[in-house]
Structure 1
Amino acid sequence: MRKSKSKSGVILAVVVVAAVGGLGGYQVYDQIHRTEELREETLEGAIPKISVVNPEPGPTEQKLTLPGSVEAWYQAPIYAQVSGYVKMWHKDFGAHVKTGDLLAEINTPALDAQYAQAKADLRSAEAKYHLAVVTAKRWVALRHSQAVSEQSITEQEANARSEKALFEAAQQNVKRFEALQKFKHIVAPFDGTVTSRSINVGDLVNEGGGNLGASGDATELFSVADTHAMRLFVSVPAVFSYMLKPGLTADVEVPQYPNRHYTADFLTVAKGYDPNTRTAVTEFTIDNTDASLWPGSYATVKLTAPADSHILTIPTSALVFEENGLQVASVTADNHIHFKPITSGKVLGERVQITDGLTTADRIADNPPAALMEGEEVQLVPPTPGYNHGPSNHAGAQDETSEHAGAAAHQPPVQEANR
């Protein structure tokens, strides 16, 4: 009985020792396994995860929308050439006129008096001239009898020539006043439409200006515009000036006709840029046979021209800017980082043109981490939907063609200090 109990105790002890040993071994194994998992997780976390994009060819067309101003083919402000009071005006706003049509008449009492004086001065000068001529002839006739000296004859001949010059001057003065008399009638300089009338009957008008206001300022009497065709003026940014050449057309819209499109043809461009805006004034022509366009209209002008498809584009989020200049973080075949310098062009919405430094085969890190270093190993992951720009093909796959973005005015590309 005692041997049986002793044997049972030994077995129990062995079982307890085995259980304790097994538990200890499991704990050691579990600890080793956890340590290995932690090491692998740490190593895996030490490799940055990035998504990549490929540079894409730019759009085949360059589109640009700019404000413009519509002006008349010819537009002339008409000022008074004589001073006086408005006797009557004959054409009002919007009147269609022909060349030479009477617009207004001016009463000029002072001019009339000066004209009368000029004619009287002419008659006096004419009489003096004729008398000087007769006197000179008489003195010349006395030369043979030597009744007068040669000096006296010479003086009389010179006096005749002097009176002749005064007579001719008086004639020209009369002609000047005759010309001014014609300016009492204000006429249209060409066929067109009266777009402005700033006078009324009885207004005082000033020679060389228009009617005098309370402040003494002079304005034009009328403004006449020839609107059979219109001139469209657009200030085009310097970076888009390559588009401006013969054959270029523009699609034009004006606020008063929201559903109508006009076609404007390129005419000329100023061969210089405004230093304040870096734009060049560009002139287009628009047919206006139906007279629907009026001078002074605001216009929305859309220009379209072929673009250089060899220029690549990448998302602006892929740019890296540091002391070495503009760069991108490219991913090598063995998934290591190499920073490449690039040359940027225009910003096209969320994308930027790259004129030098990249090919379509390059894999570019999109939104690279700030701590990314040269030669660092990276792990490629699929792009995050809604975060990365456009379709991004990791592992070197080719990108699909991106949607053409509208062109914006030229400015330095958005550069992110990602490093």
Structure 2
Amino acid sequence: MKKTLYTIVTFSIALVMTSCGSDTKKSATDNAPAITVTTNKVSLGNTNPFLSVSGKIQAANSADLSTRMMGFVNKIHVNIGDHVNKGQLLISINNSDLQAKQAQVNAGITEATIAFKNAEKDYQRYQNLFASASASQKEIDDMRANFEMSKARLESANQLKNEINAQFAYSNITAPFSGRITGKNIETGDMAHPGMPLMSIEAPGQFEVIAMVPETEISKIIKNTEVDVLVKSIDQSLKGKVHEVSVSAKNTGGQYLVKIVLDKTDANILSGMFASIQFPVEKQTTTDMVLVPTEAIITNGQLSGIYTISQNNTAILRWLRLGRTYGNEVEVLSGLSADEVYIVSANGKLFNGAKINIQ
């Protein structure tokens, strides 16, 4: 009986302690200070009656430099950001094997030159003898054949020298035009392989925009049409003109490539910036997109979400399915609808159920 009474008392005390701990934790959460947040309302893209697509700025004249030969990189003469002139040496690749071949070719040219000169003298001598009837027709024919063969050997040796000289151009990589170095994919001592991109160069001053237009709208895009280009990162609108319109979407997933050449401007634009191009044609289809700024997106592994606000002014993490990125905004395919309010930033660490104070 005493043992039974002791068990009942112990269980009662444990239950009371657990209840007190739960109340204490709940009270601590309720008494936590509210986190001040900044909110925004879901915006719908493509509400403009005119066709607007996203694109990326790139230099009109750019090149990825590579080599046709294999060898170790002896020296890299420039760095990223350097301005270079046309013909300036950029990369030196070990060419000791080419130097050996060049020596062999030069020796072959010397030998062929001597043989050609001897054959030429013999041919001229037999021509004089044949003219004075002192040499037969067969002898003059043999001398002519020997002369022509010596001439062909000398020409072959000279062409082989031109081939070796052309290969030297791939061991000393030079700038194809004046511009600025934008990328470097190799370091001194690395092994260069044929076709491997070694360095990137761009000619500053003229830029173009590459945009992808859906098949429902491409028929209205006409070459030489003037367009407005909004560069979101610098918040400037530039003028441009349609330069190329692709007629095939075979390798672009149903999207047609359109190239816009930008007018010369003093705006501080750089390759890789995102832009929005507005064509002066009415859209054939009206599709609204839910767009949110990328800074408001919360990531956890492969999951992406955003904090919304409950009726009790608490933060609620909602997982989203995202689409394409348009500059500093991303398309929300599901999980968020129009006119909903979401949290852009907070002055503290947000979590599910956190009390918030809208700024």
Q: Quickly name the TM-score band, shorter chain normalised.
A: 0.5 to 0.7
**Partner letter of residue 236 of structure 1?**
V
Structure-2 change in CA distance of 1:289 and 1:109 (3 Å): farther
The CA distance in 2 between the partners of 1:132 and 1:69, in whole Å, is 66
- Superimposed CA distance per residue, residues 120-172 of structure 1 (whole angstroms, 9 cap, x where no aligned partner): 00000011111112222333344367665321221111111110111122122
Structure-2 change in CA distance of 1:131 and 1:63 (3 Å): same
Once the two structures are TM-superposed, the CA of residue 81 in structure 1 deviates from its matched residue by 4.1
**Partner letter of residue 101 of structure 2?**
Q
Find the counterpart in structure 2 of residue 37 from structure 1. none
CA contact (8 A) 2:120 2:147 kept: yes
- Superimposed CA distance per residue, residues 67-91 of structure 1 (whole angstroms, 9 cap, x where no aligned partner): 2122211111111244433221111
TM-score, normalised relative to structure 1? 0.51
The CA distance in 2 between the partners of 1:145 and 1:82, in whole Å, is 57
Question: Is 1:249 the equivalent of 2:227?
Answer: yes
Once the two structures are TM-superposed, the CA of residue 247 in structure 1 deviates from its matched residue by 3.8
The CA distance in 2 between the partners of 1:290 and 1:111, in whole Å, is 47
What is the SS of the residue equivalent to 2:120?
A: helix
Match of 1:298 among 257, 274, 297: 274
Match of 1:268 among 244, 249, 259: 244
Find the counterpart in structure 2 of residue 197 from structure 1. 184
**Larger Rg computed on CA atoms:** 1
What is the SS of the residue equivalent to 1:300?
A: strand
CA contact (8 A) 2:69 2:171 kept: yes
Find the counterpart in structure 2 of residue 116 from structure 1. 103
Could you list the runs of 5+ residues in structure 2 that have no partner in the other structure?
A: 1-47, 289-359
Find the counterpart in structure 2 of residue 317 from structure 1. none
Once the two structures are TM-superposed, the CA of residue 242 in structure 1 deviates from its matched residue by 5.2
Alignment of 1:85-100 (within 5 A): 85-100=72-87
What is the SS of the residue equivalent to 2:51?
A: strand
Question: Is 1:228 the equivalent of 2:205?
Answer: yes
The CA distance in 2 between the partners of 1:127 and 1:291, in whole Å, is 65
Find the counterpart in structure 2 of residue 366 from structure 1. none
Find the counterpart in structure 2 of residue 175 from structure 1. 162
The CA distance in 2 between the partners of 1:167 and 1:187, in whole Å, is 31
The CA distance in 2 between the partners of 1:247 and 1:73, in whole Å, is 18
The CA distance in 2 between the partners of 1:81 and 1:193, in whole Å, is 23
Match of 1:153 among 140, 146, 153: 140
CA contact (8 A) 2:126 2:135 kept: yes
What is the SS of the residue equivalent to 2:186?
A: coil
The CA distance in 1 between the partners of 2:179 and 2:77, in whole Å, is 15
The CA distance in 2 between the partners of 1:161 and 1:267, in whole Å, is 55
Alignment of 1:46-85 (within 5 A): 62-85=49-72
**Partner letter of residue 112 of structure 2?**
A
- Superimposed CA distance per residue, residues 7-50 of structure 1 (whole angstroms, 9 cap, x where no aligned partner): xxxxxxxxxxxxxxxxxxxxxxxxxxxxxxxxxxxxxxxxxxxx
Find the counterpart in structure 2 of residue 361 from structure 1. none
**Partner letter of residue 117 of structure 1?**
Q
**Partner letter of residue 136 of structure 2?**
S
Find the counterpart in structure 2 of residue 380 from structure 1. none
Q: CA RMSD in A?
A: 2.8
Could you list the runs of 5+ residues in structure 1 that have no partner in the other structure?
A: 1-60, 210-218, 308-344, 350-419
Structure-2 change in CA distance of 1:231 and 1:140 (3 Å): same
Once the two structures are TM-superposed, the CA of residue 112 in structure 1 deviates from its matched residue by 0.5
Find the counterpart in structure 2 of residue 414 from structure 1. none
The CA distance in 1 between the partners of 2:158 and 2:96, in whole Å, is 21
Match of 2:112 among 118, 125, 135: 125
CA contact (8 A) 1:267 1:284 kept: yes
Once the two structures are TM-superposed, the CA of residue 287 in structure 1 deviates from its matched residue by 4.2
CA contact (8 A) 1:227 1:291 kept: no
What is the SS of the residue equivalent to 1:268?
A: strand
